Amino acid sequence: MRIQRSISEFRSFQLIESLFTSKENFKPTDSTIRMKKMLLAAAKGLCEAFAQGKPISELLGFFTEHEAIAIEHGHPSIAPWLGQEYIGHKEIGEYFQMISDNLSFENMKFGEWFVDEDKFRVGVNGDARWTFKETGKSWDEKFTYVLDYAEGETEREPSVREVKLRKYAVWADSGAVSPTPTLQ
């Protein structure tokens, strides 16, 4: 089991590392440092809101209003929200609602943050204990978020820049529960 976990953690790290550009001989400027901090703050805000069980409407506030995408990779035979793209606030809200209707979680933690300010991308590994509400079956799961952002003006102050999530992608050990219960 420990070897399996180590391999899983290594693969998660490899996945995140492969999605980010090489920064050899890179000297950050003030603007890249500011952007890195802005991206990290936005990603941490979303992750904290999800981990604290904030309302879906609050989670949607982290996403762009136009063409935002959410996808949790996996096979839909395991859970109906896996393997398809949810586009726009309405569908992304439905995605989070399906998760809320079927699963509960505890001890969600995030760590190993990766920021690529050139690609407006943040990656993070996390873990939590999940429970299928219908069956009460629980499991520990490691997962990886890759969050792609877009920069724009704030609605209230056009001179102030902000970043909003345009793509939320999750890779998790969705096969950790077997047999799969019937989900809504």
Q: Does residue 14 lie within any of the structural domains?
A: yes
In a domain, 183, yes or no: no
Contacts of 147 (CB under 8 A, 6+ apart): 42, 43, 46, 121, 122, 123, 124, 165, 167, 168, 169
Q: What is the chain written as a DSSP string?
A: -HHHHHHHHHHHHHHHHHTS---TT----HHHHHHHHHHHHHHHHHHHHHHTT--HHHHHTTB-SSS-EEEEES-TTT-TTBTSEEEHHHHHHHHHHHHHHHEEEEEEEEEEEEEETTTTEEEEEEEEEEEETTT--EEEEEEEEEEEEEEEE-SS-TTSEEEEEEEEEEEE-GGGSSSPPP--
Residue 27 included in any domain: no
Per the domain annotation, does 24 fall within a domain? Answer: no
- Residue 100 sits in a domain whose CATH number is 3.10.450.50
Residue 100 belongs to a domain: yes
- Give domain status of residue 62, yes or no: yes
| Residue showing tokens 């000297």 | 27
Residue 26 forms part of a structural domain = no
pTM value? 0.79
Give the structural domain span for 67: 2-18+32-176
Residue 32 confidence (pLDDT) = 79
Number of structural domains (the chain) is 1
Task: Give domain status of residue 172, yes or no.
Answer: yes
pLDDT value of position 175: 63
What pLDDT does residue 23 have?
52
pLDDT in tens, the chain (184 residues): 434 444 455 455 555 555 555 555 556 677 778 899 999 999 999 999 999 999 999 999 999 988 899 999 988 888 889 999 999 999 999 999 999 999 999 999 999 899 999 999 999 999 999 999 999 999 999 999 999 999 865 555 555 568 999 999 999 986 665 545 445 5
